[in-house]
Amino acid sequence: MLQLVGFGLSLLTAKAAVVLLGGGALVTLVYFLHFYSLWPFGSDVEPASADQLRHIALLRFDGSNSVERYMNETRSLLRLGYERYLRRGIPFQIRHPVGELGSQVLLPVKYLDEVKKAPTDLFSFEAFSEKSFLLNYSRAPRQTEAAAHVVRVDLNRNLGPLVTDLWNEAARHLNETVGSEYKSVPAYDLVCGFVARVASVALVGAPLCRNPAWQRIVVETTFVAFGAAQAIKDKYTPRWRWLAPWSESIQKDLRRIRRQSIDLLRPLYKERRDAMADRDGFRDPADTFRDVVYWLMKSGQRDRSLYGVTESQLFLSLTAIHTTSGTLNSFVYDWIAHPEYHDDILHEVTETLAKVRANNGEWTLQHVAMMRKLDSFIKESARLNPIGFVSTQRYSLKPYTFKDGFHLPAGTTFMFHSDGAHYDAENYPDPDKFDGYRFLRLRETVDPNRFHYASVSDSSLGFGAGIHACPGRFLSAVVMKFFLVHFMTAYELRYEHGGTERLPNLYNDNTSRPNPTVNLLVRKRQ
């Protein structure tokens, strides 16, 4: 196992490490699954044929049009398509790296409202995910409507009462894992260990969030789910994939993860079940338990068993940990690269911390919202260095004709080019420049309620759109801001190789990730 240096957390197997550092399909898996809720679903609608899509402009690379170029150079092709077609309101298609799935169709933003309002039996993210990641065959954790509701409603409703617990757990984790002398640690290991522990405050609460075995599970689940999908593709042709659920070599790691998770969650489950059954108790369980385990147990989902709760926990871990970690990793690189913002943002943070101390050390969401300059900085970082170039991915289950007459046949994989919108000079003047206060000015001059980090719009598509916009983005934002605030005020962090320049991102298919070869030197502030 590749160990998280100095953090006591086994991150991933050697094979998975190769995937993370040199491959990239894992990033695609996590990115797409992060933003939406999945229901058990299997679509028998076959991908649209080239003949059915012949009315849509086909964009390809000049010269070699190999699969490898679509895995490594897609961003440049998408940028070309945005300028040539999408800016003029014209859809286009490109080859899908997985040939059996047909083409990927990129839609201009003028169709976004119709897509957002369409029922899921017409345009389905669930079917897109199942087709892309073989979820029906891998039997990877799947989410129910109740789990989606828990994140969208219960978690966000309780985020205010949770915010002090998140801050305190962040402080405790860093105090335990960062010493007074500089220590070298891979950048991703640093942020992933932090996110796995602090986000778990909302998932399972303390003390389980501190358990190294639980932290291993929430990190490893993603690699296990990806490994199962890849093993199916390697072992079976599409005709024989129905055998995969009975393959021991494919299912063994998923079974192990489930077994270990059930063992760890069983005491929590029993404690909450007993409290819910004690109608004469002096305390309302809702005041005692503020975590996803409890909210799932009181939800209306049919399977509120220990197994059902465990499945939802594993799925939420899969969608939350690595996307948040990758985004935070990117923020850290941009923070190092732009020291000209440090003093001003630190002043804002210091003022906020003074208000928290005046409130008996209790954080509120209003305190988090006071850090508007920090919020603008991280939104600009996400605009310039996103973890994905497309959003609002769907698979059409039925043919559909848009209001202007454009037709999508059944079996079409389509999406919107968020990266193009983020680099469009009509949306953001001087788009290639890092302007840490770009969104602060927009909030001050255009609309104070828009342009914050977690907001979504036609020009800010990183979190998706409509009812499927990432429901966990508010928790993610708090976790990442607390990491940065702690390091601004109590710790020191710099590149081991020296300098401040950000190293190039690595691209794979429709995704990007911060350079994974970077080591950081970290210590408590002297």
* CATH code of domain 2-524: 1.10.630.10
**CB neighbours of 32 closer than 8 A, spacing ≥ 6?**
128, 129, 132, 133, 388, 393
Q: State phi, psi for 474 to the nearest 5 degrees.
A: -75, -45
**CB neighbours of 446 closer than 8 A, spacing ≥ 6?**
none
Query: What confidence score (pLDDT) does residue 301 get?
Result: 65
**Ordered DSSP codes for 183-195:** EEEEHHHHHHHHH
How far is CA 393 from each of CA 18, 233, 253, 404, 475, rounded to the nearest angstrom?
Answer: 27, 22, 29, 21, 23
Tokens 């040199």: give the residue. 22
Closest CA to 416 of 23, 128, 20, 25: 128
Paired tokens of 315: 């799925």
**Distance (Å, whole) CA 30 – CA 87:** 28
Which segments are annotated as binding site for heme?
A: 470
**pTM, to two decimals:** 0.89
- H or E, element range at 482: helix 473-489
In the chain, the amino acid numbered 523 is R
The helix/strand/coil state of 134 is coil
Which segments are annotated as binding site?
A: 470
Query: What confidence score (pLDDT) does residue 400 get?
Result: 98
Instruction: Report, as ranges of residue numbers, the positions in the chain whose pLDDT lies below 70.
Output: 1-43, 99, 143-144, 279-283, 300-302
How far is CA 23 from each of CA 206, 218, 389, rounded to the nearest angstrom?
Answer: 35, 21, 17
Query: What confidence score (pLDDT) does residue 14 get?
Result: 33
The helix/strand/coil state of 200 is helix
Query: What confidence score (pLDDT) does residue 465 get?
Result: 82
Query: What confidence score (pLDDT) does residue 266 get?
Result: 98
Query: What confidence score (pLDDT) does residue 16 get?
Result: 38
Query: What confidence score (pLDDT) does residue 203 get?
Result: 96
Tokens 């630190």: give the residue. 346
The 3-state secondary structure of 368-400 reads HHHCHHHHHHHHHHHHHCCCECCEEEEEECCCE
In the chain, the amino acid numbered 193 is G
Domain residue extents for the chain: 2-524
Query: What confidence score (pLDDT) does residue 509 get?
Result: 87
**Distance (Å, whole) CA 475 – CA 454:** 10
E strand spans, 187-247: none
